[in-house]
Amino acid sequence: MAFQLQRFEMEVRGVYAPPPIPRLLPLRTRHARCIEVRGLPSTANPEAVEKFFNDVMFVIGGVTDGLGRVVCGVQLFRVKKFAIVEMRCVQEATNAMQLDGILFEGVPVRVLRPPGYDPQAVAYLRESQPFLLVLGAVGLPRGSPWGLQGTNRILVGGLPELPILAIKGLLERELFTVLGRPCAFHVIERHSDGTGYYYATCVFEDRSFPGPACVALDARLVGPYVLSARPA
């Protein structure tokens, strides 16, 4: 009784704030509320990933379920450098898919649906279509380069071991030398082919460029390296 009276007095004075009631998220929509983030740097940790997506979702206008944390949990797999990020609602997870290619700690990461995602199972929720977001606020002025899949992508092999920005500069110079005009493109991925050379995926903003770019770069000699190029 004494506690109840004290609580009543505190509420009247505007001091007492009842503890928040934990929100129960339905398990049946968990596969649709999760996103998979690949290509994370080795310095990533769950707290940093959670804070990053909480902040970014507010900046781009992707929050649809009121104030508070957008991310409910992060499961990080350090060896494979990816994380499963659970959002609080399906619509916010759908909006987050537009962040594919965003820079996390200076590294472009992939934002994908997890393997267990079943679009048919959540079609009735009508939350499978993303909102129009302010992607320019986070450095994605034309949307994610990863999302531009199709005829505007090429795979360039035989590259030296260089950072992504250096590879982009090298390819820009070679394409300008051969084609005589600048090409707007993104280098979104770089991997070793197991032989000491690297290959990169390039996405062009103009879909008329990939064909000439493949012809220009395939079998081209760049120092001691012989490049290869094909549509991706």
Domain range annotation of the chain: 29-139, 148-231
Closest CA to 189 of 150, 169, 215, 163: 163
Closest CA to 94 of 42, 131, 67, 121: 131
pLDDT in tens, the chain (232 residues): 444 444 444 444 444 444 443 444 567 778 889 999 988 988 899 999 999 999 999 988 889 877 789 999 999 998 888 999 999 988 899 899 888 888 888 778 888 888 777 777 766 666 666 677 887 777 665 544 444 444 567 878 888 888 878 888 888 888 888 888 777 777 766 666 566 778 777 777 777 788 888 888 888 888 888 888 887 6
- For the CA atoms of 116, 117, 122, 123, what is the dihedral angle to 10 degrees? -140
pTM of the full structure:
0.54
What distance in Å separates the CA atoms of residue 55 and residue 52, rounded to the nearest whole number?
5
The arrangement of secondary structure in 148-231, i.e. its CATH architecture, is 2-Layer Sandwich (3.30)
What distance in Å separates the CA atoms of residue 232 and residue 226, rounded to the nearest whole number?
19
Report the topology of domain 29-139.
Alpha-Beta Plaits (3.30.70)
Can you read off the two tokens belonging to residue 228? 């290869």
Beta strands in 39-138 (DSSP E): 71-77, 82-87, 103-104, 107-108, 110-112
Q: For position 17, what pLDDT does the model report?
A: 42
Q: For position 47, what pLDDT does the model report?
A: 95
What distance in Å separates the CA atoms of residue 127 and residue 89, rounded to the nearest whole number?
9
Can you read off the two tokens belonging to residue 188? 């979104």
Phi, psi of 89 (to 5 degrees): -150, 160
